[in-house]
A and B are shown apart, each in its own frame.
Chain A
Amino acid sequence: MSILLTRDTQIIVQGITGREAINLTRENLAYGTKIVGGVTPGRAGRDIYGVPVYDTVREAVAKNAEKGIRVTGSIVSVPPNFTQDAIFEALDSGIELIVVVTENVPRKQVAQAVEYAEMKGARIIGPNCLGIISPDECKMGGVGGPAANTRQAYKKGTIGVMSRSGGMTTEIASTLTAAGLGQSTCVSIGGDAIVGTTYAELMPFFEADPETEAIAIYSEPGGRMEAELAEWVVAHRSRLPIVAFMAGRFMDEMKGMRFGHAGTIVEGKEDTTAEKIKRMEAAGISVAERIEEIPALIRKRLAERKR
């Protein structure tokens, strides 16, 4: 099983004729993702690796509907200035799952898009993310890179992965795979201060997925997302053991400096890694000092649970 997407998920790519989007389309198709349309205004009638290009999302959705195909997902890969409009366009056309890969979108625009998505009952992953992958089922976004590299790093299994860093999503999955632990679904949630979906908001999906047995997360300074996850885990008595890796410990000494993602700035005490580790450990989340400790910690937690 997987969360958010299955091998039958039909998606479009907004901004499909852009340089990065072309690569992404090729890699996703090669992995088996069903991309049934692309959108770039003024480019209707062309095709990218056999994927028809439309001027509008509405048209892409309608043309597919005529063939009995229901488009539910969209990857948004357009320049920052056009991203908010692209998300709104997808929402207005009934798209339910939107993966936004674009970086450097001002947070007010993201917040507005997220609020509109809530009104529409839709979900946004990202921005500034590499997307979602359920190994051997489907992937949506740049996660894992070319299909062969993706297959090398990601194997089907029972561990859910959530990460604020796109690159570290693959590092963690690759480490799990090498240790014989496959993944159910891995979500690169994005590194911005405001993202469409937080760790805590993904938990109900993993919780309800019978094949997910444990969770690994990548975490870093800034924001309150780890605190929210800790509260969720306690409040819902989660069945899933969670192992977190915490990066950026050096930043605790450098208040107000921005390293890494836009969301990493340490503004208050709660944003520090020390405070986050404290909160997560109090909620029963194991915190790894190194990536390579994650598999053993997961096995240990799973063994404890079975006892």
Chain B
Amino acid sequence: MRFYEYEAKDLFRRHGLPLGKSQTIDRPEEARSAFAALGGGPVVLKSQVLSGGRMKAGAVRFADDAAAAEAAATAIFPIRVNGQECRSILVEEKTKVAKEYFVAITWDGRAKRPVCVFSDMGGIDIEEVALTHPDHVSKTHFSTIVPLMPHVAKQAVAATGVTGSDLNKLAPIVFELMKIFLAYDLTLAEINPLAKLADGRFVVLDGHIDMEAEARGQHKKLLTELGIGDDETRQARPPTAFELAGARVNAADHRGVAGNVVEFDGNLGLVIGAGGGSLTLFDAVRKHGGKPANYCEIGGNPSMSKAKELTKLILSKPGVEKIAVMMNVVSNTRVDIVARGVIKGCLEAGKDPAETIAIFRIPGAWEEEGFKILKKYGVDFCDRSVSMHDAAGRAVAKLRR
């Protein structure tokens, strides 16, 4: 779950990291007073979006006087950056930067530990720097159970050749970021650039924070203080009404999963599962030239009502002609319960299951019972002898006719 820049900086400020003076504004008119409050010097105005590419989109602008600040804010507010609307604008004093550094803490799934990536060549694409100047990028893993010690941060900085007073000023900032990363169950804590100013001070110019969605419950206090609501998914793009309705279907009943609904604009509704099976089946539908109306995941032995409600939701989407109900060979999901659910969903949506369900391919426990019900309603189904790929093909072919 991504934080906006102003939220990340709010968190940094609470931990004493050095930040420039700034104000968040919600309307262009506020730019003038923000300009004055920041001392009347040159400012930078930055759109608050959950996406990179702000500069390219024109959503970061500079201003030397109050009128220019308001003009910049007026220009920034309507700009969407990679589909993300501007939530607010962060107005910050413009600083004279002498040198830029990069520091990020993230998880390394291979080492199964957090890793601190530090570079004395900040401000630009770190993956590029790692390729062209590997000696200017350090990667330092640290323990999650041994108490975190400052020397770990010192090593990370010193490994890129930084020494003298710069080392002694940078290391505590990196150390604090490591502590923040662990304290709030973050999946990313990044400062880029971390700037050394002309007067020798260090300042956080931009920051990224990603908190693990699963850990939100443990950090309610912080999230409330930052103003982050429980319903904010904070994905790469905001959820659609259809996706939010999918989340409600899943939340309404704790038995099993019928969720992760993602909207697409095709005509074939998908009731598919589980985690890996959904990825496989979505690929298969596209490979056959099919146009999915949605992505979703069912699994974990969902209740009949959950399968039913998901089916109804998908069928309610404009443009959906048929649905395909498919899973990998299931271990703990009951085939008969899903069959009953999707049939009932069709009926309640006023549709004929035989016409609406293009294919039902869920092999596994209680499949005989499931197949019996499907037969009764004339629904086309298949067992494991038909591959996931071919089952998807059968569904797509029916829409072409």
With both beta carbons as reference points, the residue of chain B lying nearest to A263 in the complex is identified as B109
Determine whether A157 belongs to the interface, using a CB cutoff of 8 Å to chain B. no
Interface contact A247-B283, CB-CB below 8 Å: yes
With both beta carbons as reference points, the residue of chain B lying nearest to A170 in the complex is identified as B329
B107-124 Cβ-contact flags toward A at 8 Å (1 or 0): 111101110000000000
CB distance from A108 to the nearest CB of B (A): 5
With both beta carbons as reference points, the residue of chain A lying nearest to B255 in the complex is identified as A19
With both beta carbons as reference points, the residue of chain A lying nearest to B2 in the complex is identified as A256
B313-353 Cβ-contact flags toward A at 8 Å (1 or 0): 00000000000000111111000000000000000000000
CB distance from B341 to the nearest CB of A (A): 18
Interface contact B299-A167, CB-CB below 8 Å: yes
Determine whether A144 belongs to the interface, using a CB cutoff of 8 Å to chain B. yes
Q: How far is the CA of A146 from the CA of B367 in the complex (A)?
A: 12
CB distance from B111 to the nearest CB of A (A): 9
Interface residues on B, range: 35 or more
Interface contact B113-A115, CB-CB below 8 Å: yes
Determine whether A130 belongs to the interface, using a CB cutoff of 8 Å to chain B. yes
Determine whether A292 belongs to the interface, using a CB cutoff of 8 Å to chain B. yes
How many pairs, one residue from A and one from B, have CB atoms within 8 Å of each other in the complex? 172
A contact residues around B364 at 8 Å (CB): 145, 149, 170
Determine whether A257 belongs to the interface, using a CB cutoff of 8 Å to chain B. yes
Determine whether A193 belongs to the interface, using a CB cutoff of 8 Å to chain B. yes
The listed residue (B112, B260, B283, B328) touching A168 by CB distance below 8 A is B328
A contact residues around B279 at 8 Å (CB): 220-221, 247-248, 250-251, 259-260, 264
Interface contact B276-A220, CB-CB below 8 Å: yes
Determine whether B384 belongs to the interface, using a CB cutoff of 8 Å to chain A. yes
Interface contact B212-A225, CB-CB below 8 Å: no
Known: A167-B273, A167-B277. A194 touches B331 (CB 8 A): no
Determine whether A164 belongs to the interface, using a CB cutoff of 8 Å to chain B. yes
Determine whether A121 belongs to the interface, using a CB cutoff of 8 Å to chain B. no
Interface contact A115-B331, CB-CB below 8 Å: no
Residues 366 to 401 of chain B near chain A (Cβ within 8 Å): 384-385, 387-390
Which residue numbers of A lie inside 8 Å of B, CB to CB?
20, 23, 80, 104-108, 110-112, 114-116, 130, 142-146, 149, 153, 163-168, 170-171, 174-175, 178, 191, 193-195, 198, 218, 220-221, 223-225, 228, 245, 247-251, 254-264, 268-269, 289-292
11 A-B Cβ contacts within 8 A? A111-B114, A116-B145, A164-B276, A170-B331, A170-B364, A193-B107, A195-B112, A248-B279, A250-B286, A259-B262, A291-B280
